[in-house]
Structure 1
Amino acid sequence: MNSTRGVPYNNDAEMYVLGSIIIEPDLMNAVMGKLNEDDFYNPQNRNIYQAMLTLFKNQQPIEALTIIEELDRMKVAHTFDVRGYIVELVDTVPSTATTYLYIDTVKEKAVERELLKNFKELSEDILTNKYDFNTILDKTEDKLQDIIKKRKTSDFLTIEKAATVVYDQIEKYVGNKNEITGLATGFPRLDKATLGLQKGDLIILAARPSVGKSTFSLNLATNISEKNNAHVAFFSLEMSIEQLVMRLFSAKAYLKLSNIRNGFLNSKELIRLGHARQDLMKLNMYFDETSSSDINDIRAKCRKLKQADQLDAVVIDYLQLINVSGKRGNRQEEVSEISRNLKLLAKELDVPIVALSQLSRLVETRSDKRPVLSDLRESGSIEQDADIVMFLYPYSDVKEVSESIDTTEVEVDNDGEGQSRRIDLLIAKNRQGALSNIEYIFYGDECRFKEMRVKRPSTKKTSA
């Protein structure tokens, strides 16, 4: 490796790549997909590669004469002995068979130089107190992630390979005889509609206040962890961990939350609470102790769990409470950026992210209060970024105006001790499936939802 003022680069590797292209011009396609002119540190190599790029884009042959002519047009040919250097480039290459190894070496040195540059900038920011501590950490992580993404260049996947991969996956589904291809939610009808929560998906769960969306999200998180032995990260920007865990106790033990909070429990109920504690301790659930409201903090904590192989799903309660540090635009622009960042994070981490959202007050002004996609509060981009959009709404709000929902079609076991009411879940957007309306009983006192079963038509015996 050559070194000038400690800057990492490998001149031999750069020369090998350029010489290989002159010998075998068809290599240009592969090189272009991995290297740009800035990846070459030596100015002579950089200029020659830039000339090669221009020739290739103009569909001109890449050979000694055309390279020299292009360098003349770039007004850099006189800075060094071009003819002699091109001969040296060709002599450097005994075989083009190992060119790809040298391409990787050039790229690695370019990444090292970019790391060095970014860390120098960060050092200057720290020494001059340009940013606060958290902003410095966010900038450091963002710069590292950007560099990692640049390093992970990939070629096109042919339809032949793509079809083979997908066909093999379908065969696995057929072999498993399982309707669910993602994470089971613990709600059979929801699983049937979504095939489970899929990796890389952003799922929006929206409702007006006091409909039970926080409770539903907690039920969802515990079910996902329990049914799939999955690791679930839960971010609540409204409630403390103590409040969240009390709700989990209430749901697991079938006990009224108010009785748990004031300690009005008899001996049998304390035993049920103890059993609930044992069940909860088995779950792989993680609660954010700091109640982070900054999108960068949420991203950093999720990445940390993923790196430790402890992340299969994320639940955030709720989207409109997330902040974007350093932004001075209006709130709609901020929410748009937040939803886009959540979708990108789901793809990056390859996990489903469930984000709760508020609905506009306009839904209350209509006679039919069943939510629609335009009711998503503060941003239409939420609808665009989401793979699935689900609405929770009280059946009582639409009962009088709805003819499509028949209460005789569903049934439920009223196994709760507290008061209950019917809440419906409407899947208003499903990028990979059908839309659906699913009925639930919400036991508000016990912080849990129970899915209502579809009644099967009764069969009457006919006399012979």
Structure 2
Amino acid sequence: MPATERTNRAGKRQPAPIDNTYGHLPPQALDVEQVVLGALLIDAEAFGVVSELLHPDTFYDPRHKQIFTAIQTLNMSERPADIITVSEELKKMGKLDEAGGAPYIIELSAKVSSSANVEYHSRILAQKYMARQLISYASDIETKAFDETVDTDLLMQEAEGALFQLSQKNMKQDYTQIDPVVKKAYEILQKAAANSGGLTGVPSGLDDLDAVTSGWQPSDLVIIAGRPAMGKTSYALSVAKNIAVDYRIPIAFFSLEMSNVQLVNRLISNVCEIPGHKILNGQLTNEEWARLDQNLRKLDGAPLYIDDTPGLSVFELRTKARRLVKEKGVKIIMIDYLQLMNANGMKFNSRQEEVSKISGSLKGLAKELDVPVLALSQLNRSVESRGDGDAKGIDSKRPQLSDLRESGSIEQDADMVQFVHRPEYYHILEDSATGQDLRGMAQIIIAKHRKGATKDVLVSFRGEFTRFANKNERYAPIDNVGPMDGEIIGSALGGGMDDPLAGDVPPSQAGLDDLPY
């Protein structure tokens, strides 16, 4: 019986007291509820149209909740739902009287003559239900906010998590007929054909990598993983620099570990070829000051948007990312790193469950915004213990998908998994199979690739400049270049130029990249 009616001793209906909790009635549409239930009673096909929109709690009237539950039960067991079967099902549930009795069910079926508008009416009910949920959510938060014993920071986290769950639960996407999808796929194919490099996504600036991936693809979740000291943040920052500075493509970088100043210092080191420790202590030579002054101009106006909010939650990320895509035209999102994120306000039995929720949310965000999301991730320690015996080859310390920390869902949700691996760090200076000199080099291992091949890509690495680049690239000193200062010239990296990575000294001992990122 609706909250606005009650029955007196004579069995006659009379108005019920109005709930003034919010100053007016909660959002409802009782007449629409009756029309929807009537349509479900007269049309066996109507339930299939609205089954994803409605559930018992969508209905405000308690009688209607019971009737819809009976209709739902009958449809799930592939039995017809009509006046007789619904009445019998309610009787079996012991809820027939609570539902208003058989006469009320007959009355509902007489409300409509057609189910033509059942989907439209169901969407009205879904909106009313969502509004009631928001009111309940806001009321609960308001009550707790008045309680002086409640920690405000914890309340903020709870509110954030509850709102995120509410939005996730009510976010629906309709199916799409194939024609517009085929058209979109054909347009992407034409675009790739017109591009001599075959790129269909955002370029990384690393030619061999782009040859395998065709760029970072829209709606993809890419996991970039590595053990501490492998340089995964340097790799991500090098790619971000290529995208924002070289290609002028807007990119958002969410740094949960380093402040925006620390991140920009590493970017300056990368662009200006000045060792990171000198950026910190300011002890630059005259040549380095000149290089800084000339190359720093490259960063002017670069569409790189940095957010260094610590302990960023998936809800905050989603809100900020939406705004950046809408207002700044961001085409790619980077997160450093996944394990530092949280799902505040939600309860989990383990950290692995929370990471599963986070990785699933990141994949959902990539699909929703139709941009690639690159998330850095840690590896567990198992990679360090491998190859401690007789196996000392290049593959002895090679990371595997099973090495991903809290790995189950991360591996499952990711469209691509890349490992940043530097054999030189483990004193492996030559690839025994190919004879390739590995000093000053790094491997980008594509371990999972839903849209293409898995492959190892060799790139150059300069730890003192926190830079990954094409394997045959080197930047000339400032005295040897003209107006295009910093122009790439052909020559292999590794050795020379006072490179502390040369020789047998591992990078960690050279103090270049032994920080935990």
Task: State TM-score, norm by structure 2.
Answer: 0.74
* Separation (CA, whole Å) in 2 of partners of 1:148 and 1:73: 35
Counterpart of 1:168 (choices 183, 187, 204) is 183
Q: Are positions 1:114 and 2:133 aligned together? A: yes
Equivalent residue, structure 2, for 1:132: 151
* Separation (CA, whole Å) in 2 of partners of 1:315 and 1:107: 35
Partner amino acid, structure 1, of 2:436: T
Q: Are positions 1:405 and 2:434 aligned together? A: yes
SS of residue paired to 1:292: coil
What is the Cα deviation at residue 447 of structure 1? 2.6
Counterpart of 1:188 (choices 197, 207, 227) is 207
Q: Are positions 1:425 and 2:444 aligned together? A: yes
Counterpart of 1:355 (choices 375, 399, 406) is 375
Quick check: 2:238–2:469 contact (8 Å CA) kept in 1?
Answer: no
* Separation (CA, whole Å) in 1 of partners of 2:252 and 2:361: 17
Equivalent residue, structure 2, for 1:63: 82
Equivalent residue, structure 1, for 2:255: 236
What is the Cα deviation at residue 325 of structure 1? 5.3
Q: Are positions 1:105 and 2:97 aligned together? A: no
Equivalent residue, structure 2, for 1:393: 421
What is the Cα deviation at residue 376 of structure 1? 2.5
Partner amino acid, structure 2, of 1:362: S
Quick check: 2:244–2:303 contact (8 Å CA) kept in 1?
Answer: yes
SS of residue paired to 2:117: helix
Partner amino acid, structure 2, of 1:133: T
Equivalent residue, structure 1, for 2:399: 372
| 1:17-416 equivalence runs, <5 A | 17-79=36-98, 82-93=101-112, 95-129=114-148, 131-156=150-175, 161-162=177-178, 164-176=179-191, 177=193, 178=195, 179-226=198-245, 229-265=248-284, 269-292=288-311, 298=317, 301-306=320-325, 308=327, 311-322=330-341, 338-359=358-379, 360=381, 361-363=384-386, 365=388, 367-368=392-393, 369-373=396-400, 376=403, 378-381=405-408, 382-396=410-424, 397=426, 402-407=431-436
* Separation (CA, whole Å) in 1 of partners of 2:164 and 2:348: 24
More deviation, 322-331/125-134: 322-331
- Say if 1:7 and 1:231 are closer, same or farther in 2 by CA, change over 3 A: same
- Say if 1:367 and 1:343 are closer, same or farther in 2 by CA, change over 3 A: farther
What is the Cα deviation at residue 113 of structure 1? 1.4
- Give structure 1 stretches of 5+ with no counterpart: 411-419, 456-464
SS of residue paired to 2:229: coil
* Separation (CA, whole Å) in 2 of partners of 1:98 and 1:334: 41
* Separation (CA, whole Å) in 1 of partners of 2:51 and 2:77: 14
CA distances 1:250-274 after superposition (whole Å, capped 9, x unpaired): 2222333344444444666545434
What is the Cα deviation at residue 226 of structure 1? 3.9
Partner amino acid, structure 2, of 1:372: P
Partner amino acid, structure 1, of 2:420: L
Partner amino acid, structure 1, of 2:159: T
- Give structure 2 stretches of 5+ with no counterpart: 5-17, 20-24, 474-489, 491-517
* Separation (CA, whole Å) in 2 of partners of 1:98 and 1:375: 51
Identity between Structure 1 and Structure 2 (%): 32
- Say if 1:263 and 1:132 are closer, same or farther in 2 by CA, change over 3 A: same
What is the Cα deviation at residue 440 of structure 1? 1.6
- Say if 1:316 and 1:81 are closer, same or farther in 2 by CA, change over 3 A: closer
Equivalent residue, structure 2, for 1:415: none
Quick check: 2:32–2:125 contact (8 Å CA) kept in 1?
Answer: yes
If each structure's helix is expressed as a fraction of its own residues, which one has the higher value? 1
* Separation (CA, whole Å) in 2 of partners of 1:437 and 1:294: 33
* Separation (CA, whole Å) in 1 of partners of 2:324 and 2:27: 32
* Separation (CA, whole Å) in 2 of partners of 1:334 and 1:148: 18
Task: State TM-score, norm by structure 1.
Answer: 0.81
SS of residue paired to 1:35: coil
* Separation (CA, whole Å) in 2 of partners of 1:388 and 1:270: 40
- Say if 1:384 and 1:362 are closer, same or farther in 2 by CA, change over 3 A: farther
- Say if 1:62 and 1:285 are closer, same or farther in 2 by CA, change over 3 A: same
- Say if 1:333 and 1:362 are closer, same or farther in 2 by CA, change over 3 A: farther
More deviation, 314-323/177-186: 314-323
Partner amino acid, structure 1, of 2:376: L
- Say if 1:380 and 1:398 are closer, same or farther in 2 by CA, change over 3 A: farther
SS of residue paired to 2:116: helix
